[in-house]
Amino acid sequence: MTVELLPDLVLCVLLLVVAWSALFASTRRDAMALFVAFGMIVALVWARLGAPDLALAEAAIGAGLTGVLLLRAARKLPVSSARRFDYRRHLGALTFIVVAVSGFAVSIILPSPADITANNIDSPVAAAMSDSGVSHQVTAVLLNFRAWDTFLELLVLLFAITGLRQLFPIEKESLEPARTWQLLVSWTRTLVPLLLLVGGYLLWRGSSGPGGAFQAGALLAAGCVMLRITGMLPPLHWSSFAVRGSVCAGTLLFLCTAVLTHSLGAGWLDYPEAHAGTLILMIETLATLSIAIILTLLVAGERKDLCS
């Protein structure tokens, strides 16, 4: 037992305690606040596990944007009375947890022969890094080796926003805008330029270190959401070409790259080696734009934004 394990132990205990209290909180508001705290602790855990990419994504999307989404959704719900936890409604989730935990526990206790022989499982990735056009392994996997997955993930966002548009069929009185709370406004004024800077940095940094389109897009979206809910940003009208164009931009560039590499180059998404780095940066830039706009619409979108 070394001293270095102490922070990890604290994190583990904290994670369980916060998860438990989020599940069993007496009011909805407490549960949501605890959920955001839970997201932040998960981000810390990822950072401790040496996965800063995941930590950034978790902090930005899991804690930040999801938290805003929950709070906004709660405003539309009736005030909840104290609820009792009913185990029967959660049997499926409980079974899932038991199976998952026992499966992982068995994996740790009894490593399969393959684990021992293939100790260094990312060796094919490491071997191919020099041809990938970037120097960070996660980016190389996401944007080059398994670029098709990332392309389809961008489509997931596009599908989600098109789906969300179906939920505003009737003209309804939208919520009264949040009271312009002066502290929030000044905080937003300070934070948004910083978010823009950090988002741009993460995007640029992605080719050589942790970062990249999803993290940068999520941060930019966080800035846009703050501007949108304080009323400093006018509604993003779906009918405007700029909005629809930026929603589709990442997908369009990715698709064009795929089709052009296929018809003129070596094959589907087979980047020419000399230009791989530039291409990846271009795709990431437009993808960041698309992700930022789509996440903003998903979190802060109202009828004004999506159906006019």
Partner 1 sequence: MNDALLSLVTPLVAALIVLTGPAMTPRRASVVVLLGSAFSLAAALLALQTVTASGATQTLNLGGWEDGLAIRLRLSPLSALLLAFTALIHLLAGLYARFSRFASGDDFWVLSAFLHTALAALWLSADLFNLYITLELIGLAAVAMVALSGPKAYQAAADYLLLSLAASMIYLLGVVFLYSEYHTLDVMQLASVSADSARTRLALALITAGLMLKGALWPLHLWLPAAHAGAPAAVSALLSAVVVKGPLFILWLVWTEVAPADLAREVGPMVATAGMIALVAGGWAAMRSPYIKVLVAYSTVAQLGYALMALGLLMSWQIPQMHIALWLFVIAHGLAKASLFMAAGEMQGTLGTRRLTGLRGATQTVPIAMFAFAVAGGSLIGLPPSGGFLAKWVLLEPILSQPQNWPWAFGILLGTLVSAAYIFRVVVLAFDRATINPPDTRPHLMGHWLALLPALIVWGMALLGEQLIGLLAGGGV
Candidate segments 67-75, 155-163, 185-193, 281-289, binder of partner 1 by CB under 8 A:
155-163
187 binds partner 1 (CB under 8 A): no
DSSP 25: -
Interaction residues for partner 1, span 251-280 (CB under 8 A)? 251-252, 255, 258-259, 262, 266-271
Site residue total, partner 1 (CB under 8 A): 52
Query: Among all chains, which residue has been given the structure tokens 């950090």?
Result: 198
d(CA 298, CA 308): 15
Provide the H-helix boundaries in the chain. 5-24, 28-48, 52-57, 66-75, 91-109, 113-117, 123-128, 137-140, 147-164, 182-205, 213-229, 241-263, 276-300, 303-306
Interaction residues for partner 1, span 103-142 (CB under 8 A)? 103, 106-107, 112, 114-115, 118, 121, 124-125, 128
Candidate segments 19-27, 70-78, 150-158, 226-234, binder of partner 1 by CB under 8 A:
150-158
User: Residue 153: which residues within 8 A CB-CB, separation 6 or more?
Assistant: none
Candidate segments 19-27, 32-40, 152-160, 198-206, binder of partner 1 by CB under 8 A:
152-160
Least distance (Å) between residue 226 CB and partner 1: 27
d(CA 213, CA 60): 12
The length of the chain is 308
φ, ψ of residue 269 in degrees (nearest 5): 60, 20
Residues lying near partner 1 in the complex (CB under 8 A) are found at 92, 96, 99-100, 103, 106-107, 112, 114-115, 118, 121, 124-125, 128, 144-149, 152-153, 155-156, 158-160, 162-163, 165-167, 169-170, 241, 244-245, 247-248, 251-252, 255, 258-259, 262, 266-271
